[in-house]
Structure 1
Amino acid sequence: MFFHRALALTALLCACAAGAGEVEVLHYWTSGGEAKSVAELKVMMAARGHSWKDFSVNGGGGANAMVALKQRVLAGNPPAAALIKGPTIQEWAGLHVLSNLDAMAQFEKWDTLLPPVIAEQMKYKGSYVAVPVNVHRVNWLWANAAVLKKAGVAESPKNYDEFFAAADKIKAAGFIAVAHGGQDWQDFTVFESVVLGVAGPAFYQQALVQLDKTALASEQMKQALQVLRRIKGYTDSQSPGRDWNASTDLVINGKAGFQFMGDWAKGEFLAAGQQPGKDFSCSPAPGTAQAYTFNVDSFAMFQLKGWEAQKAQGYLAYLLMGQEFQEKFNLRKGSIPARLNMDMGKFDACAKTSSQDFVATSQAGTLLPSVAHGMALAPAAQAAMRAAVSDFWSNDKTTVPDTLARLVAVAKLR
């Protein structure tokens, strides 16, 4: 069994006791609102006498941070906490290097504050080893309100028949219909929303999460690939290799109509002084209104030596799941709190819709992990899945049957 202790509960109950510890945190939140939120967390830790040691790693979308983390853990000198997501949490826990947070979780009733599908991602063999700090909705479709109006599109499309009709009008009006950046994670972000919209939540779970070979080779998957290729026809020639935020800028600046992207895109609109419901719209990707694909940032807690370090780590876990931090952090990041009982009064209209749908889908069983963003599959399977879809997107000579075969082959990596 991995290391079990009651430090989290003790840290909570004895937070005012004499003695302070240092908490070292590995993350890759190094710019904008994320960095400001980290700074606030430092202040909150300092208020209890604990010192913060920043272990930030730039670049690679977190990949560089994972390399640095591996080096530190192998050297027997892990940080107190590290920003880790999805199945990677269980991989680290399986190495017996994570701390058990059950005492804290039971005292704070985390099982009642988190949807089961997210709570399970924070656990290893039934015990908490990580803390979620936010929820990003991935299956969003963003639109420039002025572009849609000029093109004669009355509202955001609710299915793909409506989407392609709207895209034709936008293109005819002289705009880019779909702003997209040609990177494999962006390609799969669109693809998983298409699969969900074409075939529904149960199929999404069966094919993309469970990697069922029959589903991966099915007529429904074929239809999803055909829709994906049709969407590509509405992108512009400068799309390959473009960063996601540069594509968002095309929508913001009235050069493009739509973008498939998670709610981190909202931060770009807000930073440009635009208002949801007026300058831009946020709606579920076509056909996905009754489902929610999530991307959750979370911190795994590593085993530490020394009572003061353990106490500081326990208090960090307490703060991360606390209402104050989750509100402040998510107001800046564009996401919503992972807690289910939060007051959303300070959040914008898109976040309020996201929160309502988050609760509804968690109750309906249609709250689903994003494959594109590392929430559903182990790294090797995820990489192979993204590569197959990206090749299909990028190379028009790649056939649907060839891609179906590659997707089926991914099932062997599970």
Structure 2
Amino acid sequence: MKFRAIMGALCAAGLMCGVSAVQAAESIEVLHWWTSGGESKAVGVLKDDMTKQGYTWKDFAVAGGAGAAAMTALKTQVISGNAPSAAQIKGPLIQDWASQGVLVPIDSVAGDWKKNLPPEIDKIMHADGHYVAAPFSVHRVNWLYINKAALDKAGGKVPTTWPEFFAVADKMKAAGIQPIAMGGQPWQDLTLWEDVVLSQGADFYKKALVDLDEKTLTSEKMVGVFDTVRKIQGYFDAGRTGRDWNLATAMVINGKAGMQFMGDWAKGEFTNAGKKSGTDYICAVVPNTDKAYTFNVDSFVFFQQKGQKAATPGQLALAKTIMSPQFQEQFSLYKGSIPVRLGVPMDKFDDCAKKSYADEQVAIKAGGYVPSLAHGMAQPDAAAGAISDVVTKFMNSQEDSKTAVQALAKAAKTK
């Protein structure tokens, strides 16, 4: 009777009753690789939302390698029987983990998702007919960031073609400005390379990097892609080796460099530094890619906890929160992305994000909405890794473009 009285008092006080008791007791361990300034602020929104719902957030952040280090840590956790509640995974890897029978479905909170997600993204969230992942936001990869003061000093204009781009780079160099800020990691090499592939047209991109069509991979147009990349390299600084992407972004933010090829997560760094688009920096589409859109979508998948086949209340609450319009808006405002959920109001977003959203809708309808290879959306790890090795070898050697193309075709056959 005393126990009932105590529980009744706690329930009346709103401290412990029904689902709230479960929530208060459940700890949510989340593995991710959001560790830069803008990224940390964005994921902090989710942490705060879950904490307000009564859950204990256990942060498992693993920096480095665009998620490669995090995936290594995840494999170790799962093999040891200590899988996190949720983990940041994307693209074909979602289906890979689902095929191992370690994920739980979250259909019960995904009732309106299908009509509120782009079709190309909705299908990625499924495995065996069930939702097993919740998407956060959409990052456009084919962006070129430009320091406005550097552009003005050089007397250049925003480039829309490669000849215009090289003309701007030459003017910046002549004005004593480092033309391009570039990091020195394989995924950054691949990001630049796929931008140039996309500049040959969305159909060419899909045949080459989604279909892995050998004829396209060995074409003269692909030789031209490598030639263009080699020319772009001539505007890098000597200190790029091992440099993280956000440090390259900081070079543009601080005016030490003029331009950077990077997805719109870089915009989160500009925002975090108090910079404004149009005033301090310009986000332009990579030359010759205005009709296309390479997407990168971060998602959380949900792992079985101690052999349970169903999602826990905390996991379901996490998935539901991620796809709520309110969270989608605030997360993307900090992250530099746009909401993956369609129809979220864009009035609070800057001009770059508004352009990204408008271009996304056009690209979806026109067939120019394509998955990023460099960011784990287009191919499984084996093929993507083999292609990345080819690109990085090319960019760190004197290899000629025709030799690189032959190596590319061979790498595409990797299973």
Partner amino acid, structure 1, of 2:248:
S
TM-score when normalising by structure 2: 0.89
Query: Within 2, Cα distance between the matches of 1:353 and 1:273?
Result: 20
CA distance in 1, matches of 2:316, 2:242: 42
User: Is contact 1:217-1:408 (8 Å) kept?
Assistant: yes
| Post-superposition CA distance 1:107-143 (Å, at most 9, x none) | 2x21111111111211123322101101111100111
CA separation of 1:236 and 1:39: change in aligned 2, threshold 3 A: closer
Choose from 90, 105, 110 the match for 2:95. Answer: 90
Q: Aligned pairs, how many?
A: 395
- Say which of 173, 189, 198 aligns to 1:196: 198
Determine the structure 2 residue equivalent to 1:211.
212
Corresponding letter in the other structure for 1:132? P
**CA drift at 1:36:** 3.7
Residue aligning to 2:148: 145
Determine which of 172, 175, 178 is the counterpart of 1:173.
175
What percentage of aligned pairs have identical amino acids? 50
Structure 2 residue 104 is the aligned partner of structure 1 residue 99: yes
Gaps of 5+ in 2: 1-16
Judging changes above 3 Å, is the alpha-carbon distance between structure 1 residues 55 and 177 closer, same or farther for their aligned structure 2 residues?
Answer: closer
1:78–1:228: structure 2 CA closer, same or farther, 3 Å change rule? Answer: same
Amino acid at match of 2:295: F
Deviation at 1:252, TM superposition (A): 2.3
Partner of 1:278: 279
Runs of at least 4 residues of structure 1 off by over 4 A? 15-18, 305-309
Q: Partner of 2:230 in structure 1?
A: 229
Partner of 2:129: 126
Quote how far apart the aligned CAs of 1:296 are.
Answer: 1.1
Structure 1 residue 308 displacement after superposition: 9.9
Letter in 2 for 1:387: D
Q: Tell me whether 1:299 sits opposite 2:304 in the alignment.
A: no
Q: Secondary structure at the match of 1:226?
A: helix
SS in 1 for 2:206: helix
Tell which structure's C-alpha radius of gyration is larger. Answer: 2
In the TM superposition, residue 60 of structure 1 has moved relative to its aligned partner by 4.1
| Deviation of the 1:204 alpha carbon | 0.4
Distance change >3 Å, CA 367–CA 173, structure 1 → 2: same
CA contact (8 A) 1:20 1:308 kept: no
Aligned residue number for residue 356 of structure 1 = 358
CA spacing shift, 1:180–1:36, aligned 2, 3 Å: closer
C-alpha contact (below 8 Å) 2:36/2:246 kept by paired residues: no
The structural deviation recorded for 1:39 is: 3.7
- Are the equivalent residues in 2 in contact too, given 1:132–1:298 (CA < 8 A)? yes
After superposing the two structures, state which structure 1 stretch, 319-328 or 49-58, moved more.
49-58
Matches within 5 A, 1:1-400: 17=19, 19-21=21-23, 22=26, 23-105=28-110, 107=111, 109-153=112-156, 155-197=157-199, 199-304=200-305, 310-395=312-397, 397-400=398-401
Q: Does structure 1 retain, via aligned residues, the 8 Å contact 2:185–2:241?
A: yes
**Pair 260,24 (structure 1): closer, same or farther in 2 beyond 3 Å:** same
Point out where structure 1 has 5 or more consecutive residues left out of the alignment: 1-14
* Residue of structure 2 in register with 1:401 after alignment: 402
1:225-282: per-residue Cα shift (whole Å, max 9, x none)? 1111111112222233332223223322333222111112222323333211112110
1:367 Cα shift?
A: 1.2
Change (3 A) 1:16 1:410: farther
Report how far residue 319 of structure 1 moved.
Answer: 0.5
Compute the TM-score of the two structures, normalised by the length of structure 1: 0.89
Supply the RMSD in Å over aligned alpha carbons.
2.1
Match of 2:11 in 1: none
8 Å contact 1:20–1:51 — kept in the other structure? no
Call closer, same or farther: CA 1:36–1:195 in 2, change over 3 Å. closer
CA contact (8 A) 2:133 2:300 kept: yes
Q: Is the 8 A contact 1:16 1:48 kept in 2?
A: no
**2:249 is matched by which residue type in structure 1?**
T
Give the 3-state SS of the residue equivalent to 1:187 in structure 2. helix
Query: Residue in 1 aligned with 2:7?
Result: none
Q: Secondary structure at the match of 2:215?
A: helix
CA–CA separation in structure 2 for the residues paired with 1:185 and 1:57: 17
Q: Write the deviation string for residues 120-173 of structure 1: whole angstroms up to 9, x where unpaired.
A: 2111233221011011111001111122222221x2111112112222222222
